[in-house]
Amino acid sequence: MIRFNQVSKRYPGGHQALSNVSFDIAEGEMVFLTGHSGAGKSTLLKLIAAIERPNGGSVIVNGQNVGALKPAAIPYLRRNLGLIFQGQKLLFDRNVFDNVLLPLQICGFNHRESAQRVRAALDKVGLLNREKINPIALSGGEQQRLCIARAIVNRPSILLADEPTANLDTEYAGEIMNIFRSFHQVGSTLLISTHDESLIRQGDGRTIALKHGELAA
């Protein structure tokens, strides 16, 4: 489902973030991506979502070479991806429900189906009873769960999460891991970058480790 074949990424200015990285992730797998700060984890996730392009090798997602996609094809790729990335902003001028609705509005779903999907996503992350409030009134962990609801409302087949439990206490981190496990159980493919050893222990998935931009043995 995701295949990296000898992938290298060098940023402008000459920094080599990834060197000759190769691995496969099968449909339905849950994989943790680990490595020190600066090892290249975020870069690897961005290559899958075509936020960055590789300088060498190929990144294949669902049979498509995403590094070679034309810009017009990128939104179609992203419809199959749920992205939980650092720095993604919630909209504080809309309520919880409307924050989750936004990706469906962009895709042109009708109102009734959208509302059902939003409520199903909010239910999964335990925020169904908070749909009318402004996200500013949510705790850090609840805001993170709202970001997850927004990422899954399209029912993506692949979920990419970059440090999803950073800055959260253990209790919240455990809740988020439970949500990921429930996706894994229904057959979604997950790739989760994390420093959090306890998350990895709870997750029962394979680990891919990066060290200075290379796969660590």
Number of residues that bind ligand ATP (CB under 6 A): 12
Q: Which C-beta is closer to ligand ATP: that of 43 or that of 114?
A: 43
- Beta carbons within 10 angstroms of residue 206's beta carbon: 12
Q: Which C-beta is closer to ligand ATP: that of 46 or that of 117?
A: 46
Q: Where are the beta strands (DSSP E) in the chain?
A: 2-10, 16-25, 30-34, 56-61, 64-65, 81-84, 158-162, 189-193, 206-211, 214-215
- Beta carbons within 10 angstroms of residue 15's beta carbon: 11
Using CB under 6 A, which of 32, 35, 141, 203 touches ligand ATP? 35
Q: Which C-beta is closer to ligand ATP: that of 36 or that of 201?
A: 36
DSSP letter at 128 equals: G
Q: Which C-beta is closer to ligand ATP: that of 48 or that of 153?
A: 48
Q: Which range of residues in 35-43, 66-74, 92-100, 176-184 is near ligand ATP by CB under 6 A?
A: 35-43
Using CB under 6 A, which of 15, 53, 155, 201 touches ligand ATP? 15
Q: State the Cα–Cα distance between residues 135 and 133, nearest whole angstrom.
A: 6
- Cβ atoms of 104 and 153 within 8 Å: the answer is yes
Query: Rg of the chain over CA atoms, in angstroms?
Result: 17
Q: Where are the beta strands (DSSP E) in 68-117?
A: 81-84
Which amino acid would we find at residue 167? Answer: N
Residue 41 binds to ligand ATP (criterion: CB under 6 A)? yes
Q: Which range of residues in 39-47, 90-98, 114-122, 147-155 is near ligand ATP by CB under 6 A?
A: 39-47
Using CB under 6 A, which of 7, 40, 48, 83 touches ligand ATP? 40
Q: Which range of residues in 24-32, 41-49, 172-180, 198-206 is near ligand ATP by CB under 6 A?
A: 41-49
Residue 87 binds to ligand ATP (criterion: CB under 6 A)? no
Q: State the Cα–Cα distance between residues 26 and 16, nearest whole angstrom.
A: 27
Residue 140 binds to ligand ATP (criterion: CB under 6 A)? no
The residue ranges that bind ligand ATP (CB under 6 A) are: 11, 13, 15, 17, 35, 37-43
